[in-house]
Structure 1
Amino acid sequence: MKIFKFIIPLAAVLVSKAGFAGVVDLTMFSRANCVGVNESISWAGTSIISKDYQFNLAIISNQDNSELQLKRSFMEGYEQTWRLHAGCFLCGDDGWFVEAEHFADPMNKEQEEYLEQYCDSDWTNSGQSFSGPCKATTATDCNLEEW
């Protein structure tokens, strides 16, 4: 019976999105209305083991609350790092919709497929435009299945 306590959780991780993220080395998601957190995050899970494994990352996170008629945007990157965050803490826990474009320089075919699409944004950061392989994410809740 003890073996099942180990095998079942391991199998669940391997078939989940988290397990797939370990294969492509990238996890990208957004969360909203999560105990006051509204943000978008890109991170390389393998970098927890080796900080030398980094990506050139950028994020544009647009946040909208139609009830309050408020909009805000955060952009970060491009930055050579293992983790990048765009958003805010303690900035609203009701009615927010977060959508983001996560950019990264893919290093292999699996990562390129994970990024799913090509984005060419009008946004610039310090004169550098955001364009290239990207993954779009949205959230209206904590998106607990993504972390």
Structure 2
Amino acid sequence: MTESFVHVAMREYLKKEGWTLVAGEYPGGSDDELYVLSIMDPSVACDNSPDPRRHSEGEIIPDLFAYKAGVMLIIEAKPKYSFDDKEKLRKLLADKYGLLCDALRKFCDERGILSGINFEKIRYVPVLAFGNEQYKVYDEETGFAHIYVKSLSDVKMVFF
């Protein structure tokens, strides 16, 4: 199972479950459905460059953001469970929470989506999405969620 396969399956599952896909990026950096949401310290890009990608020190770009009923999923997807992605999400919420809220607010305001949302008050859930053909439930810390992809049409999400 490839990372692209996991992306396609989780997106279709989330849409069927009523989640609004907010931002994302397919593996390889191309996406014809969503815009990329980059979370970075604005003081890093202090030269008014038209190309902020050149200022990527400390930049975090989660694979997918999805929103529903006061909950924002922040998703990292891989073919298999990734401890590195777990740490990336943990650090994002622990160390860059303010930058995350600011980036989401600006991103949504510029695109006219999720208007009226107080991004400091919603619940953020870090999610690891991965291929899991046996639906083995992994132990996880409270507050995380998993999206298990068995096939394009057989996906489930578990909250911990």
TM-score, L = length of structure 2? 0.27
When Rg is computed on C-alpha atoms for both structures, the one with the higher figure is 1
TM-score normalised according to structure 1 size? 0.29
